[in-house]
Structure 1
Amino acid sequence: MSSKAIYEATGKDLINRHIAPGTALVPCRFAVFEQDTVWEDELGKNPWLTKEQLVVKPDQLIKRRGKLGLVGVNKTAAEVRRWLSEHSGKEQKVGAASGKLRRFVVEPFVKHDANEEMYLCIQSGRRADTIMFHHQGGVDVGDVDALAIRLDVPVDTFPTGEEIDRVLLKNVKSATTKRILTTFILSLYRVFVDLYFTYMEINPIVITNERLYLLDLAAKLDQTADFICAKNWGEITFPPPFGRDAYPEEAHIADLDAKSGASLKLTVLNKAGRIWTMVAGGGASVVYTDTVCALGGAHELANYGEYSGAPTESQTADYAKTIFSLMCRDRHPKGKVLIIGGGIANFTNVADTFRGIITAIETYKDALLQYNVTIFVRRGGPNYQEGLRQMREVGHRLRIPMYVFGPESNMTAIVRLALGHAPVPPDHRLDYAPHQLPKPEPAVRTALYCTH
């Protein structure tokens, strides 16, 4: 399962469209403002913006926005516009991350008393989903893990109204509020399951005048359920964590992954980093990344990802070209290293995937030399001998420094070699001198080597 966070506006839209009729939920209304949004256009699409008091806040996966002073409450449209002008593009620090505020959501202000705020959360687990409820909510709710009442719902079952009333809502005094909450939670859990949510937190959920409102929402979806839920989801954008820019190369690999039975993942951590990885297998990718970090290379680690599940030669070539296009943009005084690693494959034809990597190497051969890239390879599995032979041959032919190892070597041993913590064994030293090219002008380098 790949649990990915979604925008608050996206989560509320999914609930609006798919929750069963008959609940007291007031459909969520919202307008999204990004840096290129024209104010007048949004007013035309949402005339209620000029007729009601409003709430404005960033919609960029930022937690505890109220505590950070990032929520404007009970404002007129003119005040919201000024608030957006003051905050748009502003550098904001959130925990260890910092980034610019670029996307905001504006909603109607719901007048209510603090004692009408409650907390509701649903999260998936291996054997059961857990519904958490606390009869008090809001920015000062405190430690909900310790305070909330929990109801575990085993996989492939649904809770009953009696269970929700008796277990979750035992601290709710009003019979009317209990009835409204029971109906809503039953319907919301159906949405949670049917649309493959993995996490949904509503804080606060408010019931006033027998109407229910979702004032704040954080949610995640199982991205791997796209082939099941695409029609019901509609077009979903999975935003990057706050403080990290989205890269078109990541979107390209995600699109490639969605169209393939294989698993192809890429996250850019530090585009100017020295250490790049191209690892076969989800588990192996974690092991290699942990090893790089354990050896002190975390600050130079450029990416995280995997290619697994028997990708085709062309898919592997596309994946590798994407990695190379990112590597060949920023020079590093020590040169760069690429770790092509993996465990021992069960059914992936190593020679086929390596032919795809070789195609990418041949396409980017000049760029790899210009940016002083050294490649370390370790792999095992079906037809691995042929794959390793081909990799050695292309390194020799193109004069690219490439050190190739099979399953006789420890899986992560090449990380120590790549980071300079151990010398290359004598029997693996190169018997050729790497080819040197004249340095091109920066503009030419970008045009020739950084696209595919």
Structure 2
Amino acid sequence: MARKKIREYDSKRLLKEHFKRLAGYELPIKSAQVTQATDFNELAEKEPWLLSGKLVVKPDMLFGKRGKSGLVALNLDLSQVAVFVKERLGKEVEMGGCKGPITTFIVEPFIPHDEEFYLNIVSDRLGCTISFSECGGIEIEENWDKVKTIFLPSGVSFTSELCAPLVATLALEVRTEIEEFIKVVYALFQDLDFTFLEMNPFTLIDGKPYPLDMRGELDDTAAFKNFKKWGNIEFPLPFGRVMSATESFIHGLDEKTSASLKFTVLNPKGRIWTMVAGGGASVIYADTVGDLGYASELGNYAEYSGAPNEEEVLQYARVVIDCATSDPDGQKRALLVGGGIANFTDVAATFNGIIRALKEKVNLT
């Protein structure tokens, strides 16, 4: 399972598109995405609700605590939203120790509300942990003692009986509605292969739940069966992370092949580099380097699997070797080539690609 964060805009888009199919009624979610390329006049034509009421605007950049950081503007009209965005678009901010420019915003209707609820679903190997609180919002951490949690094993139906501990303290007039909402969101979570979903907060509008703030992660290895359901989904890099030219090249190879080709530069001046077959093995190799006290020398994380052909491995190995030898500081480098059990990969083909890349490098030096 590969957990990949998605933007709040896409989380809410998926919720809106599929909630009616699973629940029988539609959530009145409205949201618009704003980037450098956005023309506000064209956006208003496409989304006329932007001109009919007050709005909320905030960065949609995979980091939290936007309200506490003064990055959320409330009760604006569209012209004020445009000014807010213009003043911040492309500006560098620091969040959680990471610095990066703000490139994407989400705009939504401003919804006055009194009640704020919290819902969180996280999957793991044996099932899902579901947490709920009637004291949601930006102070959720200060009210963590009020969060109720249950664990739902894989394959077990999410019945009202199992949901009861989460909603037991709610007022009777909203208990049934919120219970049904939680169960439908869980069904959607499973149906779309979410690995993490959080609404903090959601509120009630005319007695129906409505998410005000939402975060989501998808299992991107399930893309092959969800491409129609997910639509034009984006998996942005973590905030503050910029893909290098070599990483972009490997990413392009990965998108064009049925195999898996992953490459991340950790330390361009590192002296220990890896090229490992298999997701589990690649993590073990990297962890072992760290456990032996050489984490600061680890140059990269690399993983190839899924039976890449010789030519794909050749291009992949060229990049790893070029990066490993790019710093002419006179120090020796180590390249760890290995893997785990090969279930269906042609090991001879992959190693031929690696050997050819090594021979090319020798002939060039």
TM-score by length of 2: 0.88
Partner of 1:372: none
Q: 2:265 aligns with which of 245, 268, 286?
A: 268
The CA deviation at 1:298 is: 4.2
Partner of 1:57: 58
**What SS does the corresponding residue of 1:153 show, helix, strand or coil?**
strand
The CA deviation at 1:91 is: 1.4
The CA deviation at 1:196 is: 0.5
**What SS does the corresponding residue of 1:188 show, helix, strand or coil?**
helix
The CA deviation at 1:340 is: 3.4
* Distance in 1 (alpha carbons) for counterparts of 2:328 and 2:117: 52
Superposed CA deviations along residues 24-62 of structure 1, whole A, max 9, x for unmatched, are: 763321111112322322222222222211111111111
* Distance in 2 (alpha carbons) for counterparts of 1:108 and 1:250: 38
The CA deviation at 1:94 is: 1.1
Whether contact under 8 Å (2:281, 2:340) holds in the other structure is: no
The CA deviation at 1:353 is: 1.2
Partner of 1:199: 196
Superposed CA deviations along residues 83-124 of structure 1, whole A, max 9, x for unmatched, are: 1122112211112211111111111111112xx100001111
Partner of 1:220: 217
Whether contact under 8 Å (1:268, 1:302) holds in the other structure is: yes
* Distance in 1 (alpha carbons) for counterparts of 2:340 and 2:176: 56
User: 2:101 aligned with 1:103, yes or no?
Assistant: no
* Distance in 2 (alpha carbons) for counterparts of 1:136 and 1:344: 47
Partner of 1:170: 168
Aligned length: 363
Stretch moving more, 150-159 or 86-95: 150-159
**What SS does the corresponding residue of 1:218 show, helix, strand or coil?**
strand
Partner of 1:314: 311
Q: 2:350 aligns with which of 337, 340, 353?
A: 353
* Distance in 2 (alpha carbons) for counterparts of 1:13 and 1:158: 26
Partner of 1:159: 158
Higher relative contact order (CA 8 A, sep 6+): 2
Pair 254,52 (structure 1): closer, same or farther in 2 beyond 3 Å: same
Partner of 2:146: 147
The CA deviation at 1:63 is: 1.5
RMSD (Å), alpha carbons: 2.7
* Distance in 2 (alpha carbons) for counterparts of 1:146 and 1:319: 49
Superposed CA deviations along residues 51-79 of structure 1, whole A, max 9, x for unmatched, are: 21111111111121112111112222222
Whether contact under 8 Å (2:278, 2:340) holds in the other structure is: no
Pair 353,288 (structure 1): closer, same or farther in 2 beyond 3 Å: same
Stretch moving more, 56-65 or 144-153: 144-153
**What SS does the corresponding residue of 1:200 show, helix, strand or coil?**
strand
**What SS does the corresponding residue of 1:314 show, helix, strand or coil?**
helix
Summarize the alignment of residues 236-247 of structure 1 with structure 2, pairs less than 5 Å apart. 236-247=233-244
Give 2:62's aligned amino acid: L
Give 1:62's aligned amino acid: F
Q: 1:277 aligns with which of 274, 277, 280?
A: 274
* Distance in 2 (alpha carbons) for counterparts of 1:279 and 1:39: 47
Unaligned runs of 5+ in 1: 366-394, 401-434, 436-452
Pair 349,209 (structure 1): closer, same or farther in 2 beyond 3 Å: closer
Pair 251,237 (structure 1): closer, same or farther in 2 beyond 3 Å: farther
Superposed CA deviations along residues 155-186 of structure 1, whole A, max 9, x for unmatched, are: 1232123432x22101111x232122122122
Whether contact under 8 Å (2:54, 2:77) holds in the other structure is: yes
Partner of 1:13: 13
Pair 296,73 (structure 1): closer, same or farther in 2 beyond 3 Å: farther
Partner of 1:341: 337
Whether contact under 8 Å (2:272, 2:298) holds in the other structure is: yes
Runs of 4+ in 1 over 6 A off after TM superposition: none
Stretch moving more, 250-259 or 219-228: 250-259
Stretch moving more, 247-256 or 350-359: 247-256
Pair 250,18 (structure 1): closer, same or farther in 2 beyond 3 Å: farther
User: Identity, % of aligned pairs?
Assistant: 41
Give 1:241's aligned amino acid: P
* Distance in 1 (alpha carbons) for counterparts of 2:35 and 2:334: 37
Superposed CA deviations along residues 213-263 of structure 1, whole A, max 9, x for unmatched, are: 111111111111111111211122111111101356546545644665543
Stretch moving more, 194-203 or 66-75: 66-75
Task: Tell me which structure has the larger Cα radius of gyration.
Answer: 1
Whether contact under 8 Å (2:20, 2:27) holds in the other structure is: no
* Distance in 1 (alpha carbons) for counterparts of 2:140 and 2:151: 22
* Distance in 1 (alpha carbons) for counterparts of 2:2 and 2:125: 13
Summarize the alignment of residues 6-85 of structure 1 with structure 2, pairs less than 5 Å apart. 6-20=6-20, 22=23, 26-85=27-86
Stretch moving more, 142-151 or 181-190: 142-151
Pair 334,234 (structure 1): closer, same or farther in 2 beyond 3 Å: farther
* Distance in 2 (alpha carbons) for counterparts of 1:191 and 1:326: 42
